[in-house]
Amino acid sequence: MTELAGPKQDRSRATRRRLLETTIRCLATHGWEVSTVGFIAGEAGISRGAVQHHFRTREALILAALEHMFEERAALLDALPEPAQDGPERVHAVVRGLVEAIIGGDLFRAALQVWTVAAADPALRLAVLPLERRFARGVHRRAVRLLGADDSDPSVRALIQATLDMARGLALADVLTDDSRRRARVVRAWSGQLAAALSAA
C-alpha cells in the first residue's frame, strides 16, 4: 500500500460500511420485498452501479451485511463489562445483557427477514446456515465466559443453549409489540433457575 492509497482505501471502507449498515436498516424497517439493491443504494446515497460493482446480487449484499452485523454484535458482547456481582445477581445481569444484546438494534429484525425468506428458498438457506452457525457458536462461547460456567458439563451446556433459545423466542415476541415489561419478568424467573442449576453443577 502506498501512502497515497491510505485515504482512498479509508473512504472505500467507510462507504462499504455505510452500505452494509443501510442494508440492515432497510431490511429491519422495510422488509425483504422492499429492500432491493436499487432501494438500498438510494437510501445509502450510493449509485446502484457502485453497489453492484462490489456485490453482484442482492443475496451477496445481504449476506455480507449480516456478517458485518454479526461481527459488530460479537464485539459488543466482548465489550460487556464483567458483572460486578456474584451468584444469582451475576447470572441475572448476564442473561439480561445477552437478551438485550440479541434483541437490541436492527440485527434481529433484519436477520428474521433473511431467515424467513431462506425458510422457503433452499439456495439462500444453504448460504445463510454456516454464517448463522458461526454466530450462534460465538454467542454461546461468550455466554459461557460471562457466566463463568463449566461448558464441559453436558447439562450446563444444554441449559446455556436453552437460555439462548429463550432469548431468540423473546426477540420474536418483541417484533410485533413492545414486550419489554413481560420480558423483564421472564428473564428474572429464568435467571433464578439457571443460577440454581449452575451453582449445583
| Span near a copy of itself by CB under 8 A; candidates 15-23, 38-46, 50-58, 115-123 | 115-123
Q: Say which residue the cell 409489540 belongs to.
A: 177
Site track 3-42 with a copy of itself (rule: CB under 8 A), x = hit = -------------------------xxxxxxx--------
- CB 136, CB 164: distance < 8 Å: yes
Site track 55-94 with a copy of itself (rule: CB under 8 A), x = hit = ----------------------------------------
Binding of a copy of itself by 120 (CB under 8 A): yes
Angle, vertex CA 20, rays to CA 38 and CA 103, nearest 5: 115
All three cell numbers of 17, joined, read: 460500511
Q: Say which residue the cell 423483564 belongs to.
A: 184
Looking at 54-126, which runs of residues are DSSP E strands? none
Identify the sign of the CA torsion 78, 81, 86, 89.
negative
Binding of a copy of itself by 144 (CB under 8 A): no
d(C-alpha 128, C-alpha 156), whole Å: 28
Residue 154: CB minimum distance to a copy of itself, A:
7
The 10 Å Cβ neighbour count of residue 167 is 23
Residue 145: CB minimum distance to a copy of itself, A:
20
In order of 14, 165, 192, 200, the CA distances from 136 in angstroms are: 27, 10, 23, 26
Site track 155-194 with a copy of itself (rule: CB under 8 A), x = hit = x--xx-xx-xxxxxxxxxx-xxx----x--xx-xxx-xxx
The residue type at 171: A
| Span near a copy of itself by CB under 8 A; candidates 9-17, 46-54, 65-73, 110-118 | 110-118
Q: How many residues sit in the footprint of a copy of itself (CB under 8 A)?
A: 51
The residue type at 126: L
For a copy of itself, the binding residues (CB under 8 A) are: 28-34, 109, 112-113, 115-121, 125, 128-129, 132, 154-155, 158-159, 161-162, 164-173, 175-177, 182, 185-186, 188-190, 192-194, 196-197
